[in-house]
């Protein structure tokens, strides 16, 4: 029996990058998966097809999670398609680095509205639908929550907020058998990292030099840690932040 047989998982921002790999991995571990996407329908459909081709179950559901009115949709569709919700992976997130001179209310709100408010509201929707046996929330945070590199004040603050939310909600929801943990990746090669110009830049060189394992990550390095925390194997683990970062601190 696989780790997540019989479970239903919602993965936010799963049309590409780390989220897409998490969705595929959770499905390979037996979960039926809602593949949430904001705008990349083709990417989400590709993830669903890959899951189905491997014998799993998945549906793609559009919702821009920075828009509070849209946040309930993936959870409503999860119940419609699969009858329940057991796992939420809060992966959707954006990163916009900028020196303090270039920090604006827009830059702040773009990141906080998705990375923090969207995550909180998605968690609220999941918690409303978890059954009496509880559930598991895995937040995709980042090593920047503690490493806080230069020019990342706003982004790092969103992830520090995510870790505080993880610890607070773990205490609040533990009595309802709902576990809440963070996975904090180091630099991972994704579409978003390429688009930001990080994949070939100084940041990669600095990360590789500082990481004992000497390389940046791949989405496949992150997904198994998420599946573990989502599963009953982690049944006595809550409120934790797990760095998955090749030893980078
Ligand atoms: P990516 O840009 O490659 O993919 C982001 C995903 O989020 C996409 O599927 C996109 O459609 C979705 N998304 C963006 N805006 C959305 C919105 N408003 N509503 C719903 N979905 C939305 O990003 P990634 O590199 O795979 O990062 C995924 C998560 O991992 C983010 O939370 C990011 O902060 C975190 N993270 C990434 C790295 C890294 O180096 N790549 C490191 C640490 C943490």
The pLDDT tens digits of the residues spanning 200-245 come to 889 899 999 999 999 999 999 999 999 999 999 999 999 999 999 9
* Mean of the per-residue pLDDT values of the chain: 98
CA distance 235 to 239: 12
Catalytically active residues are 155
Residue 5 pLDDT exceeds 90 = yes
Quick: pLDDT tens for 81-125: 999 999 999 999 999 999 999 999 999 999 999 999 999 999 999
Domains of the chain: 8-188+222-235 (3.40.50.720)
Is any ligand 1 atom within 6 A of the Cβ of residue 9?
Answer: no
CA-nearest residue for atom 1, ligand 1, is 192
- Average the pLDDT over 127-143 and give the result: 98
Q: What are phi and psi of 69, to 5 degrees?
A: -70, -15
Residue nearest to atom 33 of ligand 1 (CA): 93
Ligand 1 center–CA 191 separation, angstroms: 9
Cβ–Cβ under 8 Å, residues 79 and 130: no
pLDDT at 1: 82
38 Cβ closer than 6 Å to some ligand 1 atom = yes
* Stretch 10-25: mean pLDDT: 98
Alpha carbon distance, N-terminus to C-terminus of the chain = 36
In the sheet where 32-37 sits, what is the strand order? 58-62, 32-37, 8-11, 87-90, 135-140, 178-185, 241-244
**CA distance linking residue 79 with residue 126, whole number of Å:** 11
């Amino acid at each position: 029996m696989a780790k997540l047989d019989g479970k239903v998982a919602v993965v936010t921002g799963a049309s590409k990058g780390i989220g897409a790999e998490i969705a595929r991995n959770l499905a390979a571990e037996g979960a039926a998966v809602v593949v949430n996407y904001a705008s990349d329908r083709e990417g989400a459909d590709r993830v669903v097809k890959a899951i189905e081709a491997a014998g799993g179950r998945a549906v793609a559901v559009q919702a821009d999670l920075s828009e509070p009115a849209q946040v309930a949709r993936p959870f409503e569709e999860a119940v419609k398609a699969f009858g329940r919700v057991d796992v939420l992976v809060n992966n959707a997130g954006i990163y916009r680095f900028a020196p303090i001179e270039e920090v604006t209310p827009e830059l702040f709100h773009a990141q906080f509205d998705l990375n923090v408010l969207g995550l909180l509201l998605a968690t609220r929707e999941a918690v409303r639908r978890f059954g009496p046996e509880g559930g598991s929330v895995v937040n995709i945070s980042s090593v920047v929550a503690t490493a806080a590199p230069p020019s990342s004040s706003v982004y790092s603050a969103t992830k520090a907020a995510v870790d505080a939310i993880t610890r607070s909600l773990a205490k609040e929801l533990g009595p309802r058998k709902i576990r809440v943990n963070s996975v904090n990746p180091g630099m991972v090669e994704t579409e978003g990292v390429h688009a930001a110009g990080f994949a070939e830049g100084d940041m990669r060189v600095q990360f590789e030099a500082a990481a004992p394992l000497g390389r940046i990550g791949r989405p496949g390095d992150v997904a198994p840690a998420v599946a573990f925390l989502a599963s009953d194997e982690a049944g006595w683990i809550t409120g934790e932040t797990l760095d998955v970062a090749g030893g980078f601190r």
